[in-house]
Structure 1
Amino acid sequence: MFVQQLQPIADSLALSALVAALPLITVLVLLGAVRMRAHHAGLIGLAVALLTACIGSGMPVTQALSSAVQGAVFGLFPIMWIVVNALWVYRMTVRTQHFDVLRRSFSRLSDDPRIQALVIAFCFGALLEALAGFGAPVAISAVMLVALGFDPVKAAVVALVANTAPVAFGAMGTPVVTLAQVTGLPLDSVASVVGRQTPLLALIVPLLLVALVDGRRGLRETWLPALACGIAFAATQFAAANYVSAQLADIGAALIGAAALVAVPAARRPATTSVRAAVLTGARSEDLDVRDSRRETVRAYAPYGLIIVIFSLAQIPPFKDWAAAATRSFDWPLLDVAGPDGKPVGGNVLTLPLVATGGTLVLLAGLITAAVLGVRARDAAKEWLATVHELRFAILTVTSVLALAYVMNLSGQAATIGHFVAAAGAGLAFLSPVLGWFGVAVSGSDTSANALFGALQVTAAQQSGLSPELLAAANSSGGVLGKMISPQNLTIACAAVGLAGREGDLLRKVLPWSLLLLLVMCLIVLAQSTAVLGWMLP
């Protein structure tokens, strides 16, 4: 048995924490300063983590390697299993051109560019985040806005800022699923607290978007539809995260938010010529004038409806019990780790929810989607394999980062850093979202940031007397605000709208909003750690 030590280096907590932080420092420097590709940085960081675990923490080589393999396995299943199947569903809608039908359907909801920005960038962007994530919402939303006549820079900025509130529950809840796994906290508990933080952002972001599109006039004339959209989105995300399913949080919020938006009479009024002339400075795509049949429009919406139905059925006790019965748990080989208190850690056992996981449910929805959209079995299989190929570097990045996280957690390195960070005391509540924000800013992924810093946040919370669920959730909620300034997302946005090489221009435009919203989230978490907003927590 390997027993974790909190001060393995010269019996000094500070020196031990510095050595333990080397893998994280390596990844962040390679990503942020060297601008190395994420999967290369992840692999190098993993190598450093193995060295510090074995040499610094005294973990046996076989156990260190075994913990890395376990982390990689978790990265593949259920994490990338969810992402691959979700993106596969989207790719099939593109193959059958039903994605274009959906785009045209959205464009006909209103001719007001400020409302179009809310429908496409905020609501549809959230739907894409729920199903695909990993940059797809920014790229697709920005392209759609440009097709409507938006200036490319404005389209990119709007798409980047809109990609905030839904990120924590993106890719069928992948970030919160990862957070629960690496921290050992129940998924329901983590999702519940995140669902009491990010909805507060959803109240602000729609108002910010109309201001970005048309300044004070946009805010003055469209504040009511924007507020209605934000309230509906926030309420649905809160309800789904707390009482239904974290995997459904963004899908339900996106659809209900869009419905509430178009239900406001002001959102359906034709835009004035002066507004359209001031906002739409580009060329409008001609295919927007194509009229689609009601049957094709229904088929375009069908994949998202199927996912909602299947995930809802999965929450009904008979189906839930059947899925739980298929879950398998077994002792992980070559791993026998105890915490500093001598008690075995949860990492010694691996649990595989073969049916209950979101990826399997999305796969089922995808199979039905293929039949509804008329995709032949052979073509559907080709699209699935093409999805895996498209995500190959993302798969390598996620598995390497999860392997790194598991090595740090099981070797005790994360606990050492957490004890050292706990010296911030009550101020830790204010700073915890900043750590998540920084992690996403350099990695481009809330999932990766949660894997890197989730366990650290929990350890620090336990040592400082704060709620572990609060700080773990704050890591994810703060992280969503770093998405808009991550090099990965900036590059995706620029490439999508034909602004390659102008990432610096976009960064200067979105950085102030990222910092402002981060400050808001820091204040929210700080207030939730006290009696001011403590009543919000479950």
Structure 2
Amino acid sequence: MYWKQLVDPFHNITLSAAVAVLPILFVFWALLVKKMKGYKASLLATALAIPIAIFIYQMPAGLALLSTAHGMLYGIFPICWIMITAVFLFNVTVKSGRFEIIKQFMASITPDRRLQALLIAFSFGSFLEGTAGFGSPVAITAAMLVGLGFDPLYAAGLCLIANTAPVAFGSIGIPVTVASQVTGIPEMAISQMVGRTLPFLSMLLPFYLVVLMAGFRKAMEVLPAILVSGLSFAFFQWFTSNFLGPTLPDIIAGVCSIVSLLVLLRYWKPKTIWRFPHESAVVAANETSHSAKTITKAWAPFMVLTVFVIVWGLKPVKSFLDSISLLSFPIPGLHNAIMLPEGDKLLPQVFKFNFLSAAGTAILFAAIVGVWLLGLSVKDGWKIFIQTLVQLKIPIVTIAAVLGFAYILNNSGITGTLSKVLSNTGVLFPFFAPVLGWLGVFVTGSDTSSNALFCHTQKTTAVSIGVDPVITVSANISGGVVGKMISPSSIAVAAAAGSMIGKESNLLRFTIKHSFIMLLFISMMTLAQAYWLKWIVP
């Protein structure tokens, strides 16, 4: 037996969409207007979505509850697992006292907060997105910036915004791979199209970040660094995605951006050092010096992390680890129990517990090695891990609720209703194609999940209006990247890492207008590519 999804339960798509959008509007209202804590907003949004699914979309109550439970399970693993291990790694370096050395080393490179944000939030975060993805870049970089002395709101907010540029090629290019599998469009063509859109955003993002931190005039003071950071990243993102494929753009572009900026800083320094207004004077770099061995030891956990996430991302390694540890099972009562509206496909609902090959486990092993390298005992490491779990108990509830919310929206057909509304916009659909990707990432927290959800619609709608489908499928990916910064799951991770647990509403207010600005930019680009810049299509 199966239940068939309804997309237009009222037989009036406008009215159906007005009801479908209510749970999403509730999230914005709860966080922006009522300033609720993230876990309360997420739980209440889920509680609102379930009766809409049951009574409006006629979804059997058992399927609604099982869908929510499946989403919560996915939220705990692998999403929360990544957050827990990333914060654990950071806490190990702090408890050992080595993070003070890292802070002093960063100050010796540049005590300027603007340049530290470019190095860590933008370049290093992009590298981490390319290797691990799934929330780890924001968790690690936000914690590092707070540890360096950044205002927690700016640390978390800047890392969320900086994380937009690399998301499309995150986790060794998985979002592009999924888009290709869903649509049948060659992976390389999608990679090339995304690589001809996002570098424009990547090029502007460092300037945008510094203006947001310090204002236009202060940004102009470090314009050479901004140009080197943004242009080097954009160039290698374009080059790699167009000639090597979707697996390496973030890794290569992130590394090249870091190296380019470090080379510049050897020969150029800003005339004035900028810090947050509340900060006291920074100790001069030459007042505290450490040997190369001491500095290397302090950075060792992050060096090990880099090696581990690269190795874990290799397909042969992942396949081997899965062969000895993967536990995969269909969700009883839910697997193949829901049919899509077209009536040609049952939705598989399988939970995969790939403990060894999960990115979070790579981070855990890096942290364990870090415990040993930093001279801590096993007892110390275990104590820090327990303290980390206690520290993150509220974000764990938040993320589990957010993913339960995402799964009930997807399985009930609510997101299908919103997809149908946007696909009915005719010749203007290329403008709204990124909005669909943005919506998917807002709901699911993942560009990969958004592509699995909407890329088929993107392709069929484009074909129906005579537009090359690679444009709209790529727009789903590009639009999704700017939805990442306001996704409740991303905000929960950033709040946890940035010492802002319970202040998720502040983070959403910080990022939401920037998400809309960047979405408009990508929508205009997609519209131009569809009708006026056709030569850009691979």
Shorter-chain TM-score range: 0.7 to 0.9
Task: State the shift of 1:455 in Å.
Answer: 6.7
Q: What's 1:311 paired with? A: 309
Amino acid at match of 1:340: P
Distance 1:393 1:345, change over 3 A: farther
**Contact map agreement 1:457 1:472 (CA 8 A) in 2:** yes
Q: Against the structure 1 CA distance between its residues 321 and 5, is the aligned structure 2 distance closer, same or farther, given a 3 Å change threshold?
A: closer
Task: Tell me whether 1:324 sits opposite 2:322 in the alignment.
Answer: yes
* More divergent stretch after superposition (44-53 vs 161-170): 161-170
SS in 2 for 1:36: coil
SS of 2:281's equivalent in the other structure is coil
Confirm or deny: 8 A CA contact 1:450 1:475 kept in the other structure: no
Distance 1:399 1:140 in 2: 25
- Which position in structure 2 is the counterpart of 1:399? 400
SS in 2 for 1:347: coil
Residue 239 (structure 1) shift: 7.6
Instruction: Summarize the Cα distance change of 1:199–1:182 in structure 2 as closer, same or farther, 3 Å threshold.
Output: closer
Pick closer, same or farther for the CA change 1:292–1:32 going to 2, 3 Å: same
Tell whether 2:373 aligns with 1:372.
Answer: yes
Q: Deviations over 1:464-495 (max 9, x none)?
A: 22556424313422225658xx9989999999
Helix, strand or coil at the partner of 1:28: helix
Query: For residues 63-114 of structure 1, what are the alpha-carbon distances to aligned partners after superposition, in whole Å with 9 as ceiling and x for unaligned?
Result: 2111111111111111111121112111111111222212211111146676
Cα gap change, 1:8 to 1:464, in 2 (>3 Å): closer
- Provide the rounded CA distance (Å) in 1 between the counterparts of 2:180 and 2:260: 36
Q: Which residue is equivalent to 1:333?
A: 332
- Counterpart in the other structure of 1:461: 458
Query: How big is the shift at 1:33?
Result: 2.2
Partner of 2:109, secondary structure, is coil
Other-structure match for 1:149? none
CA distance in 1, matches of 2:187, 2:387: 36
For 1:474, the equivalent position in structure 2 comes to 478
* Aligned residues of 1:90 and 1:132 also touching (Cα < 8 A): no
Percent same amino acid at aligned positions?
A: 25
Match of 1:200 in 2: 200
1:42 aligns to 2:65 (yes or no): no
**Equivalents in 2 of 1:393, 1:271: separation in Å?**
41
Task: Check the 8 A contact 1:446/1:480 in 2, yes or no.
Answer: no
Q: Which residue of 1 aligns with 2:55?
A: 55
Inter-partner Cα distance in structure 2 for 1:105 and 1:400: 39
Q: How far apart, CA to CA, are the structure 2 residues paired with 1:75 and 1:489?
A: 11
Q: Distance in 1 between matches of 2:43 and 2:498?
A: 27
CA contact (8 A) 1:222 1:267 kept: no
Unaligned runs of 5+ in 2: 463-468
C-alpha displacement of 1:333: 0.2
- Please state if 1:166 is matched with 2:170: no
Q: Is the 8 A contact 2:482 2:515 kept in 1?
A: no
The root-mean-square deviation of aligned C-alpha atoms, in Å, is 4.6
Which AA in structure 1 matches 2:34? V
Contact 1:120 1:145 in 2 (8 A): no
- Measured after TM superposition, the shift of residue 438 of structure 1 is 8.1
Q: What amino acid is aligned across from residue 57 of structure 2 in structure 1? A: S
> What is the Cα deviation at residue 327 of structure 1?
2.8
Paired residues of 2:340 and 2:347 also in contact (CA < 8 A)? no
Q: Please name the residue that 2:103 is paired with.
A: 103
Alignment of 1:62-461 (within 5 A): 62-110=62-110, 115-116=115-116, 118-119=118-119, 122-123=122-123, 132=136, 137=141, 141=145, 144=148, 160-161=157-158, 163-167=160-164, 192=191, 197-209=197-209, 213=214, 215=216, 219=220, 222-234=222-234, 253-264=253-264, 268-272=267-271, 275-276=272-273, 283-286=280-283, 289-316=287-314, 318-325=316-323, 326-335=325-334, 336-433=337-434, 448=445, 457-458=454-455, 460-461=457-458
TM-score scaled by structure 1? Answer: 0.77
Bigger Cα displacement from structure 2, 308-317 vs 120-129:
120-129
- Find the counterpart in structure 1 of residue 465 from structure 2: none
8 Å contact kept, 1:169–1:250: yes
Contact 1:183 1:454 in 2 (8 A): no
Contact 2:439 2:483 survives alignment (8 Å):
yes
User: How far apart are 1:292 and its partner, in Å?
Assistant: 2.0
What is the letter of the counterpart of residue 394 of structure 2? F
CA distance in 1, matches of 2:461, 2:447: 20
1:30, CA displacement in angstroms? 1.9
Q: Number of matched residues?
A: 511
Superposed CA deviations along residues 100-154 of structure 1, whole A, max 9, x for unmatched, are 21221111114667645533554466678877556774575367466xxxxx7xx
Structure 2 Cα separation of the partners of residues 21 and 333 of structure 1: 29
Q: Equivalent residue for 2:522?
A: 521
- Alpha-carbon distance in 2 for matches of 1:31, 1:203: 31
- AA of the residue aligned to 2:71: G
CA 1:261–1:536 in 2, change beyond 3 Å: closer, same or farther?
farther
Given residue 59 of structure 2, which amino acid in structure 1 is its aligned partner? M
- Maintained 8 Å contact 1:481/1:518: no
Q: Give the Å deviation of 1:213.
A: 4.4
Q: Please tell me whether the aligned partners of residues 228 and 261 of structure 2 are also in contact (alpha carbons under 8 angstroms).
A: yes
Q: Secondary structure at the match of 1:370?
A: helix
Give the CA deviation at 1:358. 1.0
The residue type paired with residue 458 of structure 2 is A
Change (3 A) 1:179 1:405: farther
CA deviations 1:216-252 (Å, max 9, x no partner) are: 5863x64333222223334566688896987x87676
Q: Displacement, 1:354?
A: 2.9
Change (3 A) 1:224 1:162: farther
Secondary structure of residue in 1 paired with 2:161: coil
Equivalent AA in structure 2 for residue 415 of structure 1? G
Q: Distance in 1 between matches of 2:479 and 2:518?
A: 14
Q: What secondary structure sits across from 1:85 in the alignment? A: helix
Aligned AA (2:392) = L
Change in CA separation of 1:395 and 1:340 when aligned onto 2, cut-off 3 Å: same
Give 3-state SS (helix, strand or coil) of 1:330's partner. strand
